[in-house]
């Protein structure tokens, strides 16, 4: 019984860390992996998703629909930004860092000025359950399922839909895709919008469990970047396995020595991976296959 409850606790903690890493990193990985844009406004798309979700719940919408609304609004805002600003920066990756950083600061400060320093939370649904000595939150299991479901849906989108195939074609050889009649500019918009919507989804999913403040995006950004850096450019070969490895490192160290050790472990893992595998896990896996 003790062994079982210990095992469950380890799986739960690892799953919890995995969900957080996957959900925070997905949007960033799509935008970076597909388009080569390093999006420093990633946290603010998460903020957007969280605020929209919370407002929608307060207006009486059920939580799942509110979360989808959050993702949708973040996605639309992302497409709008892509049309007006980001598309001029595709051949200028360094400039895109500065510009998205600027957007991030404007969004944070704008939220503070327009909506105030904080927003009341909606409370976490579903209550708790007990295994052995420990109480657990049911909603955290929902988050784990959501992370796995998000990966599955993304995989279906990129391998089984027309959009996915066109998107991959556009990213690989843009001028041939264009010559074959693909509306590449629309594909770029949609891909950026998808990345932003994934960030919004993350914000919406975590909104009931967190403090809602204009700077809340910052809580996700470090983990998101760490996961994408370790993972490399591909979501399925990179982000997902990276999140799994980092989750084990983080949950193990945090349970052994506390939060500080968990944070240190995460960053040390990044340094080690970048030193040994400069192209992240994606590069490692692809080379193995070749």
Partner 1 sequence: MHKPTTSVLAALGTLLALSTAAIAQEGPIKMGVLEDQSGDFAVATIGKVHGIELAAEEINAAGGIAGRPLELVTYDTQSDNRRYQEFMRRVLQRDKVDVVFAGFSSASREAYRPIVDQFKGLAFYNNQYEGGVCDANMIVTGAVPEQQFSTLIPYMMEKYGKNVYTIAADYNFGQISAEWVRDIVKENGGTMAGEEFIPLGVSQFSQTIQNIQKAKPDFLVTLLVGTAQASYYEQAASADVGLPMASSVNVGQGYEHKRFQPPSLANMYVTTNWIEEVDNPASKAFVEKWRAKFPDEPYINQEAENSYIAVYLYKQMVERAKSTDHDAIRKVIAEGDVCMDAPEGRVCIDPKSQHMSHTIYLAKVGEDHSISFPKVWDDIKPYWLGDVGCDLTKENPEAQYTPSDNPMKSGG
Residue 267 is a binding residue for partner 1 (CB under 8 A): no
**What contacts 276, CB < 8 A, 6 or more positions away?**
none
- In the list 12, 32, 158, 225, the residue contacting partner 1 (rule: CB under 8 A) is 12
Least distance (Å) from partner 1 to the CB of residue 20? 6
Choosing from 58, 117, 161, 172, the residue that interacts with partner 1 (CB under 8 A) is: 117
State yes or no: residue 60 binds partner 1 (CB under 8 A): no
Min dist CB 209 to partner 1, Å, is 5
The answer to the question of residue 144 lying near partner 1 (CB under 8 A) is: no
Cα separation, 260 vs 274, in Å, equals 22
Site for partner 1 contains 5 (CB under 8 A): no
- Quickly count: other Cβ atoms within 10 Å of residue 103's Cβ: 18
208 binds partner 1 (CB under 8 A): yes
Query: Of 58, 161, 183, 259, which lies in the binding site for partner 1, with binding defined by CB under 8 A?
Result: 259
Out of 128, 159, 161, 172, name the contact with partner 1 by CB under 8 A: 128
Under the binding rule (CB under 8 A), the answer on residue 249 touching partner 1 is no
Cβ closest to partner 1, residue 16 vs residue 44: 16
DSSP string spanning 135-178? EEEHHHHHHHHHHHHHHHHHHHHHHHSHHHHHHHHHHH-HHHHH
- Which residues touch 221 (CB under 8 Å, ≥6 apart)? 24, 40, 42, 43
Residues with Cβ < 8 Å from 177, sequence gap 6 or more? 166, 169, 170, 184, 187
Residue with tokens 């939580």: 63
Q: Does 102 bind partner 1 (CB under 8 A)?
A: no
Count of residues in contact with partner 1, rule CB under 8 A: 49
Q: How far apart are CA 122 and CA 186, in angstroms?
A: 36
Task: Tell the smallest beta-carbon distance from residue 234 to partner 1 (Å).
Answer: 26
Residue 45 CA neighbour count, 13 Å, CB half: 38
Asked if 81 and 235 touch (Cβ cutoff 8 Å), the reply is no
Distances (CA, A) of 83 to 55, 60, 231: 27, 32, 28
Q: How far is the CB of 24 from partner 1 (least distance, A)?
A: 10
> Which helix or strand (DSSP H or E) is residue 6 part of?
helix 2-35
Asked whether position 121 contacts partner 1 by CB under 8 A, the answer is yes
Q: Reduced to 3 states, what is the DSSP secondary structure of residue 119?
A: strand
Minimal distance in Å, beta carbon 26 to partner 1?
A: 17
User: Among 210, 244, 249, 277, which residue sits at the site for partner 1 (rule: CB under 8 A)?
Assistant: 210
Residue choice 38, 157, 169, 218 for contact with partner 1 (CB under 8 A): 218
User: Which of 256, 257, 232, 258 has the alpha carbon at shortest distance from 245?
Assistant: 232
263 binds partner 1 (CB under 8 A): yes
**Residues lying near partner 1 in the complex (CB under 8 A):** 9, 12-13, 16-17, 20, 108-109, 112, 116-118, 120-124, 126-128, 130, 133-140, 208-216, 218-219, 222, 251, 254-255, 258-260, 262-263
């Amino acid at each position: 019984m003790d062994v079982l409850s210990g095992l469950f606790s380890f799986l739960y903690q690892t799953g919890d860390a995995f969900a957080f890493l996957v959900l925070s990193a997905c949007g960033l990985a799509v935008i970076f992996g597909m388009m080569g844009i390093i999006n420093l406004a990633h946290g603010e798309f998460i903020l957007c998703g969280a605020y929209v979700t919370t407002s929608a719940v307060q207006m009486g919408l059920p939580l799942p629909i509110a979360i989808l609304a959050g993702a949708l609004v973040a996605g639309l805002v992302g497409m709008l930004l892509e049309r007006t600003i980001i598309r001029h920066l595709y051949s200028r990756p360094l400039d895109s860092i500065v510009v998205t950083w600027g957007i991030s600061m404007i969004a944070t400060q704008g939220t503070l000025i327009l909506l105030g320093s904080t927003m009341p939370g909606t409370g976490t649904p579903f209550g708790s359950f007990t295994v052995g000595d420990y109480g657990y939150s049911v909603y955290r299991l929902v988050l784990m399922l959501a992370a796995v479901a998000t990966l599955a849906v993304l995989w279906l989108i990129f391998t089984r839909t027309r959009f996915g195939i066109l998107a991959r074609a556009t990213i690989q050889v843009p001028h041939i895709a264009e010559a074959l009649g693909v509306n590449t500019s629309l594909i770029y918009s949609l891909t950026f919008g998808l990345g932003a919507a994934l960030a919004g989804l993350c914000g919406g999913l975590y909104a009931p469990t967190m403090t809602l403040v204009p700077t809340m995006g910052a809580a996700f950004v470090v983990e998101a970047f760490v996961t994408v850096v370790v993972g490399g450019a591909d979501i399925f070969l990179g982000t997902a396995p990276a999140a799994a490895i980092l989750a084990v490192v983080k949950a193990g160290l945090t349970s052994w020595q506390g939060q500080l050790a968990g944070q240190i472990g995460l960053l040390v893992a990044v340094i080690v991976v970048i030193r040994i595998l400069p192209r992240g896990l994606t590069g490692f896996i692809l080379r193995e296959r070749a």
